[in-house]
Structure 1
Amino acid sequence: MSDVTIFHLEMNSADQLKAKTDAKGLTVTKAEVAQYEFNRFLYQFVGAAWEWTDKLAWTDKQWQDYSQDSKLHLYVAYFEGSPAGYFELQQQDNGTVEIMYFGLGVRFIGKGMGGYLLSQAIEQAWSLDNTQRVWVHTCSLDHPSALKNYQARGFTLFKTEIEA
């Protein structure tokens, strides 16, 4: 396997957001009831194409603990009644919010939905109490347009790492 480049990006003010407002038919809804099976489904639904493996071996208990954490916020994007993608926001120390997971299912990629969904993730992150910084990381295994989408929405690169 070749080296993987990890890109860390941040936004230090809500004013930096360059929102994409055309929803392309997406409806984004906050999941108010924690259901670890749903978090796991979305993780696999979106992540399978991008080699997301860090949580594949998790037990039900690990998924429950993760999804029921009061600092984790799950939002689901629907298209014509079907799940199309999602994002998870995690409130961290010192007013920091991380976009933990973000993405669209494979059949929804390339339809212009990613910019809107990311704009929604950023807006929701900034709407959480005491948010002073929003950050995310992506890598070279992700969709070729992922890094460009983050930067087009106003994120700036603050660290790059190479994992062998």
Structure 2
Amino acid sequence: MLVTTTYLEQTSPDQLRPAVEPAEPLQIVRAEEPSPEFSRFLYTAVGGPWSWTDKLGFTWNDWLIHITQEGRETWVAHHRGTPAGYAELQAAPSDGGTEVEIESFGLLPHAIGRGFGGHLLTRALTEAWRLHERWPALPPVSRVWLHTCTLDGPHARRNYERRGLVAYDTRTHEQADVPPPGPWPGSHTDTAAARRDHT
């Protein structure tokens, strides 16, 4: 199947358009203690329904190296004590300053459709623009960017554009048509139906 990837960016913090506060409480905190187990949980729980597979083969040590890179931060949203989503930021110095990629972003299935995505993205963009303040060796941030593709959630790109990110490139490639892995093997079935069966 053909997969289209769109790259979006902000080149000034003034481009950020904050979302309205969600009706339900959402606490967003930085996960400052490196934990390969927690990082893998977030990656599979959020990305499993959307075919995130590139890190599924990571060992514990691979995850540790990944999450302790200079300029990498993980911001986690919690609703009533339960993880609801996360954003992973990665800084890279460039000729014009520091560029920050929002490398991973999304919500767990139970948190989708509750107004959390715009609020979490607002916070992620805000913290991306301030990242150099927490990493003194890095120059000021000059650009924040991310990418989304046609395998992602149907509202992902709209959320990005509503927060002021602007598309600057689009690429299409062929990818094998395989079912999304889900957060654990065999769990790509309808989790909403399963949840209804247990309530």
TM-score interval, smaller chain = over 0.9
Residues 1:110 and 2:109 aligned together: no
Residue 100 (structure 2) aligned to one of 97, 100, 107:
97
After the TM superposition, which residues 46-85 of structure 1 pair with which residues of structure 2 at under 5 Å, given as runs? 46-85=46-85
Structure 1 counterpart of 2:86, which letter? Y
Alpha-carbon separation, structure 2, partners of 1:21 and 1:120: 12
Task: Spell out, residue by residue over 1:67-91, the C-alpha distance to the aligned partner (whole angstroms, 9 max, x if none).
Answer: 1113210111000000011010001
Task: Spell out, residue by residue over 1:64-121, the C-alpha distance to the aligned partner (whole angstroms, 9 max, x if none).
Answer: 1001113210111000000011010001122100001000001110111100000010
Contact in 2 for aligned 1:6/1:137 (Cα 8 Å): yes
Give unmatched runs, 5+ long, in structure 1.
Answer: none
Structure 1 counterpart of 2:147, which letter? H
Task: Note the aligned Cα RMSD (angstroms).
Answer: 0.8
Residue 135 (structure 1) aligned to one of 116, 134, 145:
145
Structure 2 equivalent of residue 43 of structure 1: 43
TM-score by length of 2: 0.80
Structure 2 counterpart of 1:118, which letter? L
Alpha-carbon separation, structure 2, partners of 1:71 and 1:14: 18
Task: Point out the more displaced range, 136-145 or 61-70.
Answer: 61-70
Secondary structure at the residue paired with 1:10?
strand
Structure 2 counterpart of 1:9, which letter? L
Contact in 1 for aligned 2:71/2:91 (Cα 8 Å): yes
Structure 2 equivalent of residue 16 of structure 1: 15
Secondary structure at the residue paired with 2:47?
helix
Matched residue pairs, number? Answer: 163
Alpha-carbon separation, structure 1, partners of 2:67 and 2:130: 20
Structure 2 counterpart of 1:71, which letter? G
Alpha-carbon separation, structure 2, partners of 1:21 and 1:72: 27
Contact in 2 for aligned 1:73/1:88 (Cα 8 Å): yes
Secondary structure at the residue paired with 1:93?
strand
Alpha-carbon separation, structure 2, partners of 1:132 and 1:144: 29
Residues 1:3 and 2:2 aligned together: yes
Contact in 2 for aligned 1:36/1:68 (Cα 8 Å): no
Alpha-carbon separation, structure 2, partners of 1:8 and 1:90: 16
Higher relative contact order (CA 8 A, sep 6+): 1
Deviation of the 1:45 alpha carbon:
0.8
Identity %: 42
Deviation of the 1:35 alpha carbon:
0.8
Deviation of the 1:17 alpha carbon:
0.3
Contact in 1 for aligned 2:26/2:78 (Cα 8 Å): yes
Task: Point out the more displaced range, 66-75 or 134-143.
Answer: 66-75
Contact in 1 for aligned 2:84/2:108 (Cα 8 Å): yes
Moved over 4 A (4+): none
